[in-house]
Amino acid sequence: MIRLRTARRRSADSSIRQSAAWGLALAGLLASCAGQGTDPEPQPDPAPVPPVTVEAATLLREGPIAWEPEDEVLDSEGAFENSITVSGGAGGSYGGRAGAVIAELSGGTRPSPPASASPPVETEALRALGYVGGNSDDGWVTELGEETDGERAKQALARLWQRATAKPNTSRLLVGEDDSLPLEGASTEVWIEGFRARVVVDLVYRNDRDRQLEGSFQLRLPDGASPYYLAFGAETWSPQTPDDTWTPRRDADERAQSGSSPADIARARAPFWAGVKEARMVTRDRGAKAYEETVARQVDPALLEWAGAGVFRAKLFPLVPGELHRVVLGYELDLSRVQAAEFQLALGLTSAPTHPVDVHIDLPAGARAELLAGDLHQSFGAAGGVHEHVQLDGATIDGLAILVSDLATPLLVTPGVAGRGLFATTVQPALETAPAESAQRAVILLDTSRSAAAGYTTWMALLEALLGGEAAPREFALLAFDAGQTWLTRGFVTNDAAGRRTALEAARAQWLAGATDLAGALSEAVAPAWWNGPVDWDLFLLGDGASTWGEADPARITAALDRAPRTSLFAYRTGQAGGDVALLERLVRASGGAVFNVAGDSAVAAAATAHSSRPWRLVEARVDGASDLLIAGRPRFLFPGQALTVVGSGAPSAGAVLELDLERDGQVLTWRTPLTQQMTGSLAERAFGQIAVAQLEELEPASRTEAEDFALHFRVPGSSCSLLMLETEAEYEAYGLGERDTWDAVAELAVAATIERLWREAGASLADPRARLANFLERLQNLPDVNFESAGELVAALATIDPATLTIAPEPLETTRRAEDVAEAIRAAVGAEEVLESEVREATAAQADAGRLSKADRLRALSTVAETHAGEPAAARELGFDALALGYPGHAYHQLLRAAEARPFEPSTYLALAEAAAEAGNLQLAWIWFEVALGGQWSGRFGDFRQIASVTCLHWLRENASDLPNAAAERLRGLAGQIAAEAGFAEADIVVFVQWSTDRTDVDLHVLEPGGERCYYGHKTTAQGGRISTDVTQGLGPEMYVLPQAGPGDYGIGVNYFASDRNKTELRTRVHATVFRNFGRPTEQLERRALTLEDAGGMRDIGILTIE
């Protein structure tokens, strides 16, 4: 019997910390004991440990704490001998069903739970906020299970430690690589409308530096959230005394009556918000180009872009020195479904000196709500519905949870949108179950990347339940994946106690690090090198679907499943921030599987067996008085217990019937439910817009016009559109971003029929790499100021190429798996709550220099940056260069491709793509990217890029002339003369060129010739004939030195980090140098070198080239 003993009260800090650790141990043990009662060997009675102490409220608020193994909370046998008391209403606890663990010495007394105790619906909402505690109706002792050995206790604590160190932090405003501005205050407003919510967050920062800066922050929004509003301006409040703190300065009535529309947000803040600029929805490519060029002119734009997987990257400029700046962001999302008629919204709150919170709750008749925040627990419910406003002090709590119950048949209606009403509903049909003929084998894909740490406890609980539950497979194989893939079992193993124990021990020991290559994991899971038979197993994906490494295109990721047409994939949605639900839905749709909700530990057992019922095929959906119906995720099959969100046009009346036509094994069924809980509001509009945009964006480029129209109209940022703010209307017009009238296009388009038609016409080509390249080239052709005139010729040439040759697979990574085998410095850097790129790089460099870190382990550790800087082009580009330097061109290629797709107007990335493809042995792709580099008319800020690209291309042509594919050989022979003319020379004794990884930075190439003459931007030609190219002062390079005839002696090559981005306080840049000796001759030699520049100012040596 595991029991936790707690004493009533003591104020010592050490006791509080120890009790918080006990709380973590309890939560972990509850998860680790589930389903394992028969596995461990009987243990002797453990010796008791001393009582631990804490105040009740402290235990509740403490949240996850990093576990340190040397903390002595286990006895000498490594076992527990304690009990836990759960109470409702005592010690300032939540009371009622949200009863809290209090500090009560039980002395082993264990009263029985009341017979009427109801399921712990809100436990998971509290856990999501970091709370630790029990849960009951009236208060009772919780039994934890049978005898448990100390080893399992330690493993449970280790799992909790991994989760505790991964709390997301979305509130930093970075002005340097690891430098952020202080947050003076924040406020949060929440509007609940049925099963949907709108959240508006105000953040007030002070620029405490002596110069104007650019700020950037990455927003890991809640699962399924979509921003609709971004504004930036000067905060007029200033402290009168040193103790003054910022407040929103609105009285209670104003807060109660505030609205959430863009106009309402601006109006409510107008008296104390000056120079406000609101972001406008713009097409993504043009918006990014406008932002970059405007910042380079020291003007003041802001940009919010979709970075994939629920991550939005925001940039703000200018941050005036000494001033306060207010950023306001608004977003919408659906509440998470807990049970058939119960939902929750769990929000973490940004830590700030002041943080007022307003919660507005509107629910239809029959529904109830509970609000949990700190010591507050309020319940609301009335026959006519709920209409409440609650004010909270967010500075004293870490988060809040809003629980909505008795909401079985909601119908949200927004009338008069785009000439028609729009509605949204969500249902969980109660369907007849029938056992499926489950596959006897299963491959379980376990995400072991850095981002998995936040939910690893849940994944481990699911793994145990999948292997030990009623629907467990006879045999299984366990595949761990991050930036690489590793089998944790030797092929398929028998699912018995020994097989499970071995697999679970391996899973618990994993080092959670690196990025996430989901395409690579799926490819390995359906075609293991150790298997020669038919693919007759199901796949279970224990990961959030966010793919930050390897293939980025959702269609190509999904295409990995084509090799196993009889395999179904099942995935799980846990509500963790940063997951890619859209990709999960796409994968399960393609394979005939499903995504199951796991609201918390209490839902694990049901989710682990949900796949064991035969699904119904979803034929059609109808709603009385409505048309143009869309179902989120476009599911093909419906499993018992699976929920659906349905949106459409029209304004159905209360009681309108939703009908689903279903079919299974020849049986036809029409499931019906009246939508009785109707309410009119504003949130159904963007619910429709979000789902429509997501389904249209799946079909890009075939749907580009429609996707842009809907994204612009409904203000839905994504892969097609972004939120951008510029200074004047004239600037929008200059970049082709004037207001676009989308009203008629949206009002007249039958979006559901259009999506079906486009899938029939273009669906098969979405994963075709040749079509993808052709679409990218046409996209370049349409970019302003790029003028890629040869796009048509290159697209025509692509038509003759086998599509299979236009892909590159990342090389296998043989990495260290067990956390205990990884150096402490690297574990600390990668596992830190706030991962700092500089610390990861320093730790990996030190271990590599000491010979204690393999190249594969170094790349995996560095790839963690792709998780913490998701969607940032500069980070992707630099990681690509890292992979190239470490000898992994396949990994490099995909990171560079991500950078190119995010910033298609930066030509140096295409040159790097060509080099990566060439080193990976793919001459087809090398040729294409050299053509792109040479074919565009790039901005003048990139200096003599075309000349330098020509030199690199000439070298490549000479090395590979006999191996080039026919199309490339014919085309490049015709261009050879043009390329040579562009380069300006055919031969040279010395050619050196450099490029670097960060934009808006000035790195200067210097060459010191033997006679002491220095060639650089201030002395561009030398007496010996050396010359330097155009000085690039705004980032990325390249710069080149050429010496046709070199005299004997030493040539010193170096770079000067003349200036970093003047809008940042600090910015490290990675310089990549290419050195040719005897360029253009049979004795030509090439050498590549790389170095990191930490701070602007001062020379750094690249090396010495000696000419005999």
DSSP 448-497: -SGGGGGGHHHHHHHHHHHHHSTT--SEEEEEEESSSEEESSSSSEE-SH
Count CB atoms within 10 A of the CB of residue 409: 20
Q: In whole angstroms, give the CA distance from residue 350 to residue 853.
A: 37
Confidence of residue 36 (pLDDT cuts 50, 70, 90): very low
pLDDT attached to residue 966: 67
Q: Is the pTM of this model over 0.75?
A: yes
Contact 810, 888 (CB under 8 A): yes
- Residues 1040-1080 have pLDDT tens digits of 999 999 999 999 999 998 866 555 555 678 888 999 999 98
368-373 vs 196-206, strand pairing mode:
unpaired
Would you place residue 1096 in the very low, low, confident or very high pLDDT band (cuts 50, 70, 90)?
Answer: low
8 Å CB contact between 395 and 660 = no
Topology of domain 441-612, CATH: Rossmann fold (3.40.50)
Q: Report the pLDDT value the prediction gives residue 308, as an integer from 0 to 100.
A: 59
User: Which are the contacts of 257, defined by CB distance < 8 A and separation ≥ 6?
Assistant: none
Burial 10-34 (b: 16+ CB within 10 A, else e): eeeeebbbbbbbbbbbbbbbbbbbb
CB 280 within 8 A of CB 732: yes
pLDDT of 1108: 85
Lowest average pLDDT, out of 224-238, 502-516, 693-707, goes to 224-238
* 3-state SS class at 674: strand
- DSSP codes joined into one string, 253-300: HHHHH---SHHHHHHHHGGGEEEEEE-EEEEHHHHHHHHHHHHHTT--
1010-1039 pLDDT per residue, tens? 999 999 999 999 999 999 998 888 778 889
What does the mean pLDDT of the chain come to? 79
Using the predicted structure, report yes or no on whether residue 670 has a pLDDT greater than 50.
Answer: yes
Q: Dihedrals φ, ψ of 1090, to 5°?
A: -140, 145
Task: Report the alpha-carbon distance of residue 614 to residue 432 in Å, rounded.
Answer: 10
Q: What are phi and psi of 791, to 5 degrees?
A: -60, -45
Asked whether residue 819 carries a pLDDT value surpassing 60, the answer given is: yes
pLDDT, residue 247, reads 83
Contact indicator for 324, 237 with CB cutoff of 8 Å: yes
For the chain, where do the domains classified as CATH 3.40.50.410 start and end? 441-612
Q: Are 80 and 113 in contact (CB under 8 A)?
A: no
Q: Give me the phi and psi of 1087, to 5 degrees please.
A: -140, 140
User: What's residue 597's pLDDT?
Assistant: 87
pLDDT digits 0-9 by tens, 615-641: 999 999 999 989 999 999 999 999 988
| Higher local confidence (pLDDT), 515 or 53 | 515
Is the pLDDT score of 974 beyond 80?
no
CA distance 1076 to 1074: 7
Contact between residue 1001 and residue 1092 where contact means Cβ atoms under 8 Å apart: no
pLDDT, average across residues 174-191:
86
- In this prediction, residue 93 carries a pLDDT of 26
- In this structure, of 80-84, 491-495, 645-649, the range with the lowest mean pLDDT score is 80-84
DSSP bridge pairs for 476: 442, 493
For residue 802, give every residue at least 6 positions away whose Cβ sits within 8 Å of its Cβ, in sequence order, or none: none
Average pLDDT of the residues in 8-37: 32
In tens, the pLDDT along 772-813 reads: 999 888 888 877 667 777 788 888 888 888 888 899 999 999
Q: What is the pLDDT of residue 802?
A: 86
Specify the range with the lowest mean pLDDT, choosing from 173-177, 658-662, 848-852, 1080-1084: 173-177
Is residue 117 within 8 Å of 136, Cβ to Cβ? yes
Poorest-pLDDT segment among 284-293, 397-406, 721-730: 284-293
Q: Give me the pLDDT at residue 587, please.
A: 96
Dig out the tokens for 662 from the structure.
């279903």
pLDDT of residue 306: 62
Indicate if the pLDDT at residue 128 is higher than 60. Answer: no
Is residue 81 predicted with pLDDT exceeding 60? no
pLDDT on residue 309: 59
| In the predicted structure, residue 46 carries a pLDDT above the cut 60 | no
List, as one string, the DSSP characters of 175-211. SSSS-BPPEEEEEEEEEEETTEEEEEEEEEEE--SSS
Query: Which two structure tokens, joined as six digits, stand for 32?
Result: 């680790």
Q: pLDDT category, 487, cuts 50, 70, 90?
A: very high
Q: Has residue 552 got a pLDDT over 50?
A: yes
pLDDT in tens, 426-479: 999 999 888 887 678 999 999 999 999 888 999 999 999 999 988 899 999 999
Which of the residue ranges 38-52, 112-126, 823-837, 889-903 would you say has the lowest mean pLDDT?
Answer: 112-126
Higher pLDDT, 959 or 519: 519
Cβ atoms of 431 and 671 closer than 8 Å:
yes
Q: Which of 312-321, 710-719, 887-896 is the most confident on average?
A: 887-896
- Return the DSSP state at 1032: P
Give the rounded percent of residues in the chain with a pLDDT score beyond 90. Answer: 44
Instruction: Give every CB contact of residue 73 below 8 A, 6+ residues apart in sequence.
Output: 18, 21, 22, 25, 49, 52
In the block, tokens 């905060």 appear at 235
Q: Which of 565-579, 658-672, 1034-1048, 1052-1066 has the lowest mean pLDDT?
A: 1052-1066
Q: Name the least confident of 317-331, 600-614, 760-774, 952-966.
A: 952-966
Amino acid 786: pLDDT? 76
> What confidence tier does 420 reach under pLDDT thresholds 50, 70, 90?
confident
Position 593 pLDDT exceeds 60: yes
pLDDT at 1070: 82
Structure confidence at residue 954 (pLDDT):
82
Give the mean pLDDT of 717-722: 86
